[in-house]
Amino acid sequence: MKSTGVIRRIDELGRIVIPKEIRRHLGIREGENLEIFTEDEQIVLKKYSKMFAYADLSSKLCEYISSAMEYGVMITDRDKILSQSNQILENVCEQELNVKLLDFIQTRENYESYSLEKFSFGKIELQGFFYIQPIISAIDCLGLLIFVKKQAYTKEDKQFAKFLTYLIANKIDIS
């Protein structure tokens, strides 16, 4: 474990402040949840992702969608790509989201490319037509559903993406 040299006092309500430099370095944004663990005599804080608990489900969804619809599919949480279809896409799982994708999460807006476009996923660059739909639960944007195709999206593709994000968000909210 790496020491930061930072010492903080616990206030009367049991709160501590995590320094801004540490939050920035670890990508912890205001309003995000942290999971608390204890290990021997240590308290360990870890970024919490509701989506991570459903990584197996999202992986199966990506594979089914890709085989039925013949386009690449990725599902992200708020930080990185959790799952993808392997038939069409290079391995981008675990790649951190770039600033553009993080902005879609922050603004909760969908995105459609109308011409061939390149998107970077870590060190990997993908080219195609992209359709990006935020996965919004009752209280927060949990991540993104990303479709990658070789041609423009139809109205049905967009409706399908909206349906899938609704399905994923509701599955997570119900659990």
State which residues form the domain around 27: 1-48
Please count the structural domains in the chain.
2
Does residue 114 share a domain with residue 42?
Answer: no
Backbone angles phi and psi of 86, in degrees to 5: -90, -20
The pLDDT value given to residue 130? 92
Does residue 24 share a domain with residue 110?
Answer: no
Contact 161, 85 (CB under 8 A): no
Range 40-65 average pLDDT:
76
Q: Which of 48, 71, 86 marks a domain boundary?
A: 48
The pLDDT value given to residue 174? 46
Assigned token pair, 20: 């801004």
pLDDT digits (tens, 9 = 90+) for 64-92: 777 777 788 888 888 888 888 865 566 77
pLDDT digits (tens, 9 = 90+) for 27-48: 777 777 788 888 888 888 877 7
CATH number at residue 152: 3.30.450.40
Evaluate if residue 161 carries a pLDDT over 70: yes
Amino acid found at 47: K
Does residue 43 share a domain with residue 55?
Answer: no
Evaluate if residue 21 carries a pLDDT over 80: yes
Does residue 118 share a domain with residue 166?
Answer: yes
Does residue 87 share a domain with residue 32?
Answer: no
Does residue 30 share a domain with residue 6?
Answer: yes
Amino acid found at 12: E
Does residue 58 share a domain with residue 22?
Answer: no
pLDDT digits (tens, 9 = 90+) for 89-145: 667 777 788 888 888 988 988 999 999 998 887 777 888 899 999 998 877 888 899
Torsion of CA 130, 131, 135, 140, to 10 degrees: 80
Does residue 160 share a domain with residue 104?
Answer: yes
The pLDDT value given to residue 51? 67
Task: List Cα–Cα distances, 11 to 21, 102, 140, 166, in angstroms.
Answer: 21, 33, 29, 40
